Structures are given as structure tokens and as C-alpha cells.
Structure 1
């Protein structure tokens, strides 16, 4: 399964679009500043850079003839100084440095770095110091903001920075929004919270990452599922082995009691041999438990085994189990001289579980029947009891793990036997079936494997 394909852009195109927006913003800012500047010029709010020079040229005669000197004739954008014919400074608002430059200018109009305009007066000279800069037409504004160009440049820079910052924040928000599904996928993988939902991004590079993360999540999901199934299987194996240990323990306990009651030494030896045999079986089961807790159990540890050997062991253990419970066992056995690659212990445990269940449920008649046979590379065991049979619910769920008809679990029944037998049957391409006997009490369970 793949993520849904959606229309997406590259990081380059996204960045380029943002750059275009920035350029457009700056261009609009320039246009607005230019328009406002020319509007200020047109309405007289701003004086042009050559205003002072043009004014002085136009009003030179008027200023020259002013007597006494009228300083209001000098524009507020200029500074002036009155000098006598000897070059001595009389009055004005020039700075000391400007006064010295003005004196030099009187002597030589080409000297000095400042802009001066000389006007002859009745009593001497009027030297006006002017600049080629734009000014506010308002005296007050020009006093506080004498360098209009600097103010415009500073204001332009401030607005430019605001535009850049806004574009940066917008780009950051877009990038974060597109990164959210990527970060969400990564956090899910980190927390192993696998939710296989399609997440997409409108940026191609992020979408490619999401596709890779989705593949990673799918693989991780499968891995976690397999890990969970393995753990569940391991727990199930431990439960089944622990459950099966009860069978040899029952036989050991029964034979121990018989030894206490028996006086014949030959029979005591026989009972002791049975105890010893089942003690070995418990030892094997405990080893399986230890291996399973270490997760080292090799379930497929199959080996060439003669089916008759399995049949013999099943019958011997079934007889001993029935003997300890005071149950009669009726055996119908067809020898099957064949070999198969199977796990002998698994098959024996599965069938003994069914025998144990039959013994527990054969209440009306104290007997069970076991029928063993082989048909076309199939090994079949039928276990028949004489109890009340399966309930309607049990007929549906008897093979489920931990299912039991009893309201409480006790040391005799955990709902594992049928489940385990079914697992072993399916392991060897067989099946476990069961039914109630028609027109009589009891039920029949059929265990079948193929080899």
C-alpha cells in the first residue's frame, strides 16, 4: 500500500515563490515611497534639493537691497552671515567653521568645500550657506528632521525589515505546516505507536520522506505483529507445557500411593519403574519450560520417528493415567509401521491432553475408548468418553485457548488441552474435530496428522 499521490511543489519552487512575494513587497514599498515623495513635492510639503539655490538666484536683488537687513528673506533651509567689505564677520547664524570658510569664499569664490552664495549689500556682503538636499517646507519639521533623505532611508529600511520579517514568518509557518505530518510520523515510530494512516505533504521532498516513513511504519508494524505473535506463542507454549506436567505427576502420585499399599516386591519395582519413567518425562518438560523462558525452544526439532513408538508411548501413559483415576480403558489399535519427521513429544502431549480430558468428563460410565489407526500417511487417534458431552457453546469454542465450561478455573482444568492438540494437529497439516455421540452419552474427539 502506498501513500496517496497529491499535487506537490518542490522546496525550490516554494522558496522561489516566497522570494517573489518578498521582491513584490519591496517593489511596492519603493513605488509607494517614490509616489509619496513626489506627492509631497507637488503639494509643497517637501522642498526639492535645488530649492535654496533657485530661491537665492531669484531673490538676490531683493536681499541685496534690504536695509536694514531682513533675515526673513533667507530661507529656513539656509544659514547666512553678514560681513563688511574688509571681510569681518558682523552677524548671522553661521557656525565658526562656516564663518572661516565664508571669509575664504569672499577672497576666492572657488575656495572651500561648503556651498556658499554671495550677495552684495549696502554695507558689505551677505554670504548664504545652502545645501543640495530636500527639506520639509515646515520650519518646525525641518528643525527636528533637517536631513529628510536620511529619514526617508531609515524609514525605508525599517519597513523593508518588517516586510522581510513578515515573509520569513510566513515561510516558517508554511514550512512547519508541511513538516507536521513528517514529525508526527517520526514521533509515532519513536513511540512504536503504529497507525497506518495516509499522511501527505504539498512539498515533494517531504512527500518522498513520508513515503519512506510509511514503508518504514509498515515494516515496523509487521515486525511488531510478528514479535507479538511470537511472544503469545511462547506464553502459550509455557502454559501448555506447565499444563502437561500434571499428567506424569498424576501417574507418579498414583503409583506412589500404590507402592504404599503393595506388599509384593515385583509390583513395587514395576510401580517404581513407572515413576522413574514419568520423572524423566517431567524432567524433559521442565527443560522445555526453561528453554522457552530463554526463548531458545526449537519447535521444529523434528526427527525420524516410528509411528508405532509413538503409539506405544501414548497407550502406556494412557493406561497408567486411567489406572490412577480408576478408569477402564478400551483400546482399539492398528499398528502403523511407518516413519515420519515429527516432534514425538508434541504429538504425545497433544493426545494425552485429549485422554486426560476424556478421563475428567467420563462421568456416567467409568471408562474411555481409544482408537488408533493409520490411513494413507495419516495418523488418527479417536478418544471417546461417557460423559454429558459438549454443550452447544463448547461445540463452537472448545478449541479456543483457555476456554472452559467451568465458571472457575482450578488445578484440574485450564482450557489448554484442546487448544494445544489443535495447534499440534495443524502443525502437521492435520485437524482436530469433535462431536457428541448420537443417541448415547459422551463425546468423541478426533486427532489427525499427516506425514
Structure 2
């Protein structure tokens, strides 16, 4: 099926691209820019050749063989001069030459050769070493005898040179200068071609990047475009297969989840009937003649039934996709804490556990809270502590304002075995069951997750820790809620996405 889908996509891409041009292989695209480089090299070479021709034609530059062709004429002019006429000698020597003047006894008298070349020039004048270019490489030394017996050695190379001595002394020789300029122009051209190639390839890759971005955003209802490059289109076809398969999988998963949510909502709705019966009968009991202990037990049952009704309604809303309602309001803290204490004590009494309740003196009078969510969070944290507390032990509940952290801290500590290292980091994850015994007692690993989710809706958190041996051991879970009016947050699931 995937191959059929890929063939269909490729056919569609071909059909869609016929109006804009045929597809071509990636190698052709690369070859095109190699051709651009070759054309640029040829063009720059032609420009350099033409520029050199213009410079030679205008007399600005002398040809490389000028030293050989003008040697006889220059020697004749120098033969008429004497060593006393140094300025006349310099004027008579063209810029293609450097010169060195020696007296008949070999003493250096004048010249414009480099200091390191004076000894070579003397050897050429008096030892007969400079016959051709091979003696001193590319440099030739030609001695010329002046009218008074002095010797002027002409030094030249087989290289083009500027006709002006000022330009000759200020700039590299024209050949090196032209090659340097050619290298700079070539580098700039290559940079330009590379930038152009990068833009074109980036544009060809845009459909691929766009497809990846839309899949990352979970937008799977789109048509993958064509790049007109065969290899990139092959990757796009494979990505389109992945997009379609992922879309089918997510749709199937959604349908399965929707059916499950509807089933849970139906079952939760069915729970309302027996809960209504329980509440009705408890109300009747409370209207009758009861002892003090019986009335307290009946009141606990009524309160438990009320909470169960609230949870069932929330479960129905969540199952149908409405999510748990979040309605924070300015709540008086004292009545809320009294209700929480009664609920925790009732929960602990059913398990034979004592409750040690303590409150700080600096608690605020009101806080911005969703009281139902806070009650649910505390009930789940307390249930976790009571569940792991040994029979006859105590559960310590401490409520105080942490002004430095800007939050209300409600901690519940038990004397049980404490959290494992893994549970300390994962205990608030949905369905986490680090303790096999918990699963055996029918728990599904939702308690601390529900508490953490409720805290997150308020902009707070649930922190897990173990008590020290000096404190008697056991575990501690701390529910932290902002004292200020913090912006509410969406609950975050284990995948990192808002749920």
C-alpha cells in the first residue's frame, strides 16, 4: 500500500510540476554550478588577457621580453656616457632594467639594484658569469662598458614591467599584480556562486522543511509540495507516506480513545444512581434519633458521598472532553482548612491512623483558589500517606505560609517506608505504580498525579521527599499553592503536551 501511495504521490508531483518544468536529478543541479565556476574562470581569464593587452598597447606596461629586445639600443646609449653622469645613466636605462655602476677597479659607484644583488652584478662585470638566464635563475646580468672604462651592469628579468619607474618601485610587477587581482575576483565570484547555490538548494529544500514543521505541529492534513529535484522529491514522497500513516494512526487512536471516554462517562453516570440512594438514606438517618457517635459516622458518610458525587461529575466532564472545570475565587482559608482537616481525620480513622495537625501563625485570611480542586488534591495526598502509614502510627499534616517562596505549603508526612529513588522523580506521573503492593490493593497510580495536576492549575506544584531518620523516617508530600494571584496553567501530561 505504501508503494502504491508513493507512486501516486510521485505521479501527482510530476503532474503538478509539468506546468513549472520537468524534474531533474540533484547531480544536474550540482553540475550546473560547476559549469558556472568554469564559465567564471574563463571569463576572468579573458578579462585579464584583455586588460593586459590594453596596458601593453597604451605603453603603461612593457612586455616580458623587453629586456632582450631593447638591450642593444640601451647598451649603445650607455656606451657614450661616463661614470660622472649618474643621472644621465639613470635616465638612459628603461624601467625594465635595474643597474649598478662599478669603477674599473670593481668598486661600486651608483645604481638602483637591491643591496643583495651588488655582489652578483660585480661578478657579472668582472668574472664573466652572466652569460644567460640559467646562471642566476630568471635574472640576467648584462655588463656594458662606458666611455671612461667604468662598467654599468644591467639587471633584468623575463617578466612584464611598468614603463614608469615610479609605478615599478611602488607596485608589484604587472604579472603578479594581475594574478593577485584575478585571484581576488575569482574568490569573490566563487563566494557569489556558492551563495546563489545555497539559496537555490535552500529553496528546493523548503517543501521538506515545511513538511517537517507541519508534522511537528501535528498538522497532518496538508499536501506535500514538489521541489522539482528528483532525490528531494523521493524523500518528500517517503515523508508523505509517514504523514499519511501517522494521520491514520492518530485518527484510529482518537476514535479508540473517544469510545473509551464515552464508555467511562456512561459508567460514571451510572454511579450517580447508587450515590443518590446513599445520600438519600444518610439524610434520612440524620433526621432520626442517633447517638453522638452514630451521627458523626453518618455525617462522614454524607460528606464522603458528596465528594464522590463531585468526583463523578468531574469524571464525566473529563471523559466527554470538557476537562475538569477550573473556577478560582477569593476563598476564606479558615473554613477550607477545617473541612480539609475533617476529611483527613475521617480518612485516617477508617485505616486506624492518627492525624497530627499543625498550622502556622502567619496564614493569610483569603487566597485565590478553586476549593473543589484543592480539596481533591489534599484528599489524594492524604490518602497516599494513610495508605502507606503502619496501623497505629500517625500522619502529620503541617500548613504554613512560606513567605520567602511566596506560597502556601501543606505537607503530609507518614511513618511508612518512604519513597524509592525512582518514585521521588516519577511519583507524580500518571499511572505510575512504583510499589507493587499499591497495585495489589486496587490502586491505579492516579492519586499524586491528580494532586499535581490540581496544583499546576493554580500555578503550584507537589514536591516529594523522604523524612530523615531523626524525624522518624517515612515520606513527605508537600502541596505548594501561590499566595498571590498567579496565572492559572494548563495541566501537563506525561508527554509534555497540555491535555
Where on the TM-score scale, by shorter chain, does this alignment land: which range?
A: 0.5 to 0.7
The count of aligned residue pairs is 266
Structure 2 residue aligned with 1:8: 23
Unaligned runs of 5+ in 2: 286-311, 320-499
Report the RMSD for the aligned CA atoms in angstroms.
3.1
User: When the two structures are superposed, what TM-score results if normalisation uses the length of structure 1?
Assistant: 0.53
User: 1:241 & 1:139 partners in 2: Cα distance?
Assistant: 105
Provide the secondary structure at the position in 1 that maps to 2:153: strand
Distance 1:132 1:38 in 2: 17
Residue matched to 2:116: 97
Instruction: Name the SS for the 1:115 alignment partner.
Output: strand
- SS of the equivalent of 2:211 reads helix
What does 1:243-254 correspond to in 2, within 5 Å?
A: 243-246=269-272
What CA deviation, in whole Å up to 9, does each residue of 1:48-73 have, x standing for no partner? 01213322212322221125532210
1:78 matched to 2:97? The reply is yes
Q: Any idea what SS the aligned residue of 1:59 has?
A: helix
Q: Is the 8 A contact 1:200 1:207 kept in 2?
A: yes
1:247 positional shift: 5.0
Q: CA deviation at 1:253?
A: 8.6
Correspondence 1:126 to 2:141: no
* Alignment-derived partner of residue 115 in structure 1: 140
Question: Are residue 168 (structure 1) and residue 183 (structure 2) matched?
Answer: no
* Superposition deviation, residue 158 in structure 1: 1.0
Superposition deviation, residue 22 in structure 1: 1.0
Name which of structure 1's ranges 156-165 and 80-89 shifts more when overlaid on structure 2: 80-89
Bigger mean CA deviation after superposition, 182-191 or 245-254? 245-254
Instruction: Tell whether the 8 Å contact from 1:196 to 1:214 is kept in structure 2 after alignment.
Output: no
Over residues 391-427 of structure 1, what are the superposed CA-to-partner deviations in whole Å (9 max), with x where a residue is unaligned? xxxxxxxxxxxxxxxxxxxxxxxxxxxxxxxxxxxxx
**2:165 aligns with one of 136, 139, 157:** 139
Q: Distance in 2 between matches of 1:21 and 1:146?
A: 31
Name 1:22's counterpart in structure 2: 37
Partner of 1:59: 74
Q: Does 1:46 align with 2:61?
A: yes
Q: Is contact 2:162–2:173 with CA below 8 Å preserved after alignment?
A: no
1:224 equivalent to 2:247? Answer: no
**Secondary structure class of the residue paired with 1:91:** strand
SS at match of 1:236: helix
State whether residues 62 and 96 of structure 2, in contact with CA within 8 Å, keep that contact through their aligned partners in structure 1: no
d(CA) in 2 for partners of 1:65, 1:77: 20
In structure 2, the residue corresponding to 1:130 is in which secondary structure?
strand
1:30-429 equivalences in 2 (<5 Å): 30-67=45-82, 69=85, 70-71=88-89, 72-111=91-130, 113=136, 114-124=139-149, 125-246=151-272
Please state whether the residue corresponding to 1:197 is helix, strand or coil: coil
- 138-147 or 20-29, which deviates more: 138-147
Per-residue CA shift, 1:5-29, capped at 9, x if unaligned? 2331111111011100111111111
Q: Deviations over 1:374-395 (max 9, x none)?
A: xxxxxxxxxxxxxxxxxxxxxx
CA distance in 1, matches of 2:153, 2:231: 71
**TM-score, normalization: structure 2?**
0.48
Q: Which moved more, 1:200-209 or 1:232-241?
A: 232-241
List gaps (5 residues or longer) in structure 1: 260-285, 294-451
